[in-house]
Amino acid sequence: MSELTLQDWQQQAATLTIEGRAFINGRYVHAISGDTRPTYNPATGEKLADVANCDTADADKAIAIARQTFESGIWADMSPAERKMVLVRWAELIEANADELALLECLDVGKPIADTTGVDVPSAARTIRWTGEAIDKVYEEISATPKGTLSLITRLPLGVVAAIVPWNFPLSTTAWKIAPSLATGNSVIVKPASNTPLTAIRIAQLATEAGLPDGALQILPGPGGKLGAYIATHMDIDGLTFTGSTPVGKQLMEYSGQSNLKRTFLELGGKSPNIVFADADLDKAASMAATAVFYNGGQTCTAGTRLLVEESIHDEFIEKVIQHARDWMPGNPLDPNTTMGPMVDQGQYNTVAEYVQIGLNEGCKLEFGGKAIEVTPGGYYHEPTIFTGVNNQHRIAQEEIFGPVMSVIKFRTAEEAVEIANDSIFGLAGAVWSNNINTAIKVAEQVQVGTMGINNYFGGDITVPFGGFKQSGNGRDKSIHAFDDYTELKTTWIEFE
Ligand code: NAD
How do residues 321-353 score in pLDDT, each as one tens digit? 999 999 999 999 999 999 999 999 999 999 999
- Whether 193 is in the pocket of ligand 1, judged by its Cβ within 6 Å, is yes
- Whether 428 is in the pocket of ligand 1, judged by its Cβ within 6 Å, is yes
> To test ligand 1's pocket by mutation, which of 53, 54, 168 has the most ligand atoms within 8 angstroms of CB?
168
pLDDT value at 118 more than 80? yes
Claim: this prediction has a pTM higher than 0.85: yes
CA-nearest residue for atom 39, ligand 1, is: 267
Structural domains of the chain sorted by starting position, each given as residue range(s) with its CATH number in brackets: 13-268+472-491 (3.40.605.10), 273-461 (3.40.309.10)
How do residues 351-377 score in pLDDT, each as one tens digit? 999 999 999 999 999 999 999 999 999
How do residues 247-290 score in pLDDT, each as one tens digit? 999 999 999 999 999 999 999 999 999 999 999 999 999 999 99
pLDDT at 1: 58
The minimum-distance atom of ligand 1 relative to the CA of 232 is: 20
> In angstroms, rounded to a whole number, what is the distance separating the alpha carbons of residues 465 and 455?
19
- Whether 229 is in the pocket of ligand 1, judged by its Cβ within 6 Å, is yes
The minimum-distance atom of ligand 1 relative to the CA of 402 is: 31
Among candidate residues 54, 105, 106, 267, the one labeled active-site is: 267
CA 233 to chain centroid, in Å, comes to 23
- Whether 241 is in the pocket of ligand 1, judged by its Cβ within 6 Å, is no
- Whether 303 is in the pocket of ligand 1, judged by its Cβ within 6 Å, is no
pLDDT at 47: 97
The overall average pLDDT reported for the chain is: 98
- Whether 112 is in the pocket of ligand 1, judged by its Cβ within 6 Å, is no
**Would you say 419 and 447 are in contact if contact means Cβ atoms under 8 Å apart?**
no
Torsion of CA 412, 418, 419, 423, to 10 degrees: 130
Arithmetic mean of pLDDT, 384-398: 98
267 is catalytic: yes
pLDDT value at 236 more than 70? yes
Arithmetic mean of pLDDT, 70-97: 98
If residue 103 lies in a helix (H) or strand (E), which one and from where to where?
A: helix 98-109
Arithmetic mean of pLDDT, 238-244: 98
- % pLDDT > 90, the chain: 99
CA-nearest residue for atom 10, ligand 1, is: 224
pLDDT at 396: 98
Arithmetic mean of pLDDT, 424-449: 98
Arithmetic mean of pLDDT, 154-172: 98
> To test ligand 1's pocket by mutation, which of 123, 199, 245 has the most ligand atoms within 8 angstroms of CB?
245
pLDDT value at 160 more than 80? yes
pLDDT value at 392 more than 90? yes
pLDDT at 3: 87
Torsion of CA 356, 361, 363, 367, to 10 degrees: 20
**Which residues does 367 contact at the CB level (< 8 Å), separation at least 6?**
318, 322, 386, 387, 388, 408
CA-nearest residue for atom 20, ligand 1, is: 228
Tell me 213's DSSP state.
P
- Whether 267 is in the pocket of ligand 1, judged by its Cβ within 6 Å, is yes
> In angstroms, rounded to a whole number, what is the distance separating the alpha carbons of residues 344 and 332?
13
CA-nearest residue for atom 32, ligand 1, is: 245
pLDDT value at 312 more than 90? yes
> In angstroms, rounded to a whole number, what is the distance separating the alpha carbons of residues 143 and 489?
13
CA-nearest residue for atom 23, ligand 1, is: 244
> In angstroms, rounded to a whole number, what is the distance separating the alpha carbons of residues 314 and 304?
17
Tell me 111's DSSP state.
-
Q: What is the longest distance spanned by two Cα atoms in the chain?
A: 80
